Structure formats: structure tokens, C-alpha cells
Structure 1
């Protein structure tokens, strides 16, 4: 990861930047001296978030489930030094109760848009011999629990493959896998999270600090929080049949998203 505090000014583009993990990335990168391009569909919230940073930001109001808006943001990506693909959402309904159009919109946002923006950014970064991409995945990407988890599994695998491909060009790609994170993600999806133990919750600023640390170390996969490192490691070791029974028993198979 490039250091914006030395050398020429660097630019970071963050999607889903108005709140939650995206806003935490904006705060951290503003402190590091990055010029920020902040993308979100909620203009009012985006302006309020940007106004609290104390730095000049370029604001792009865009709904990344809309083709014209995706194309507009793609044009920006060729000029940035750091891309954070963070926009996403989940469903609170059971799998068969969720309208297929909503599932398709989620899949498009969390797979196609990640692919397109990453592919729009990487050629310029490779040509300059520097740059980084962070794709927000999820701890749920390691568990077969929902369409949401399937999209996040795709993000993990795509990011790892891309990281391997561009490493000779001195460009980094990293999948960030949050666990339960204190944001407005669950409220916006109307999910009841009251039963989640306090020790499983992470602070968004802590999460982002750990992610940027891992990015600087050249890691292609970041799982912040010791508890989630253990969960992911154990999940990979458990036979699929047993894992599916555990997910069903705990109810995690019925939720489309559990973290922010």
C-alpha cells in the first residue's frame, strides 16, 4: 500500500462511503492525506459524512445497481491509487421468501460491480507500477449460509486470484472479511441482532485499521479480530455436512447477512 504522507498526492475511491465500514475507511484515509472520491447512493448522508472529515472530497452520488451509474464510477477508477469496493447490502427474509429481483440486485452489486470496478482500476495501477484494491467480503464467505454468503465467497476467490495476477506489477489486491461490525448495516436490513454476544462485535474504525495494516504487509486476505481468525480456521476444518447442520441449528443459514 502506498503512503500518501510522502511523495505526490494519492487518490482513494471508496464505494458505500456514506456510513459504516466505508465511512471508517474515509476517516482513516483522510488522516493519512489521501484525496478522496466518495461514492454512495444516499446523497444527504454522503454529504454529511464527507463534511465531518475536514478535507476536500469529490462526491459521486451513484446507485451501483444501475448500469449508467456503474459506468460513471468505472471512469473514475482508472485514475485512482487505492480502490475500496465496499458497497453492499443483505436481506432479512428467508431464502425462498426473498423476491428474486432483490437477490439479483444484490448479486450484481456484490459480484459484477466488484469485478468491473476492480478491472477498471487495475490496468492503470499496473501501468504505473503501484496501487491497491480492497474488496470487502465477509467471514460468511467461508460458510454456505445464503446468497449473500455466496457473493462474498466469490469476492474472496476473485480477490485472491487477482492478487496473484497483479503482484508482479507491484499492485496489491486484498479481500477484507469482516465479522459482526457495529454499523447501521443491520438496522437498514431490519435485522434483529440482539442475540449476538458482545465479544463478537468489532468497532468499524478498529476493523479498518487492521485492514490497512494487513494491506501494507501485502496480505491478500484480511480477517480482523482474533475471534474471527479462529472461526474461519475452524470452519475450514469442519466437514461440509456437519457445518451445514451447525448453520441450520444456529439459524445462521436463514439470514442473508450477519455483519456490517
Structure 2
């Protein structure tokens, strides 16, 4: 049994569990320099998850001919409490992670939803939970860091802007790289991929979300299309942590009816073919 902990000890434990730069705000110029130093900060979801499995350790099972991932076989975060056993289970995990790594390389699986199929009690839900828990932890570490951005000083330019919305965080928690126009972004990505030591290339073809697109257009108009002025005066880069409860980086969907798992929450219910 553990001894009673004081509030000071609990506070220190919490402080040590979060990144030291979590509350810091950075400039876009800082982000750009950091991107050239460490291109992996701009990875997509498949690339991050693929790297996460390797980060927590691997071992090769000669008899089974598969890579065992310690995230599942050892559970280092849980001190072995949630480990997975059996050759068939680890073969299935190995196959799943190979699909994720194929998606990281842009070979097709990144465009598909992955379903875990198997009999009741085979560990599907436990493995899903394990991935989410480890992904949250991975993004707190230097190797798994992510960034997003927020708009600031909007009331200085937009006369109708609600003062409560003078600072607006990216609604989709997009990577700051999307703030660059496509042509300039492509040039940056080409440069950083030359520096990247990984089996994949960094790609980002996203458009800005509608709210950010609106702010970008208005600010560019105000500054006579001076992108540097917009990014220096109205953009702050902040650290992003995956958090299932906040729906940051991780989304979970529960069926409204356990006996009828309606997929329209994911796919929508409008028939666009008509």
C-alpha cells in the first residue's frame, strides 16, 4: 500500500507528467525553423501511430516469424498489467501494424477505415484502448510532439469580431504547415523530406478549415496580401496533446443502440448520389 501523498507531491507528479512547453506560445517563424530541424513534427496520423509502436520497443519472435511490439507484449506504461498473449494474437497485431505502416507510406490503407474482427473475448476492445492510451502518452514526449495554431488579435482587424473571439484556436487542430499556400508549402515539404530519416515522406494536402480560411482571407486583404505580416501578427503556435476526453487527436464513437451499430455518425445520412 502506498503512503499518503501530500498535495505538493501530487502537484509535482502532475507537473512532471506534462510537457514543460505545453503552455508556451511560439511564432510561426519558430515553427518553420523547428520543422527544418525535426521534420517529424509535421507527420500525419498514420505516420505518428506507426512510429509510436516502434518507440515503445520491439522484439522479433523467430518461431512465429513476427515482430512483437512491447506496447502489447510488455505494456511498459502499465507495468505489464495489460499484456497480450498468444501467437495468433501477436500475428494479428503484427498484420494490423503493417497496414498502419503502409498507410504511413501513402500506399492506400490511409484512405480506409480499419476494422478489428474476431470472436468475443479476443482482445479487440482492449487493443483499441491500449493504442489510445499509448498515443496520448506518446504525444507528451519529445519524439511524439504535435503542434497546432490559434488566431490572435482578430478584433484589431475585423470590426464585427466578437471580443470574446479575439483569440480563436484552429477548430480542427490543424498543423501550422497548412497556413502556407499550396505552392510554398510544397517547396517546404520538398526541403524537409530531403532531411527526413524515415521510411515515409511528409505530406500535407489539407485545405484550411472554413473558419481559418475566412480569417486568412480577411487578414490577407487587410495586409495587402502580405503573408508574413499575417503570420507574424496574428498566429501563435501551441503544443497539442492527444486527449480522448477532449476529442483532440482521438475520436471515439459509441453506437446509440448496441444491437444496431448505425454507421451514419461516421458516414452521414445524406445520399449524395441522388
Bigger relative contact order, structure 1 or 2 (CA pairs below 8 A, ≥6 apart): 2
Shorter-chain TM-score tier: under 0.3
Is the strand fraction higher in 1 or 2?
1
TM-score (norm 1): 0.25
Is the helix fraction higher in 1 or 2?
1
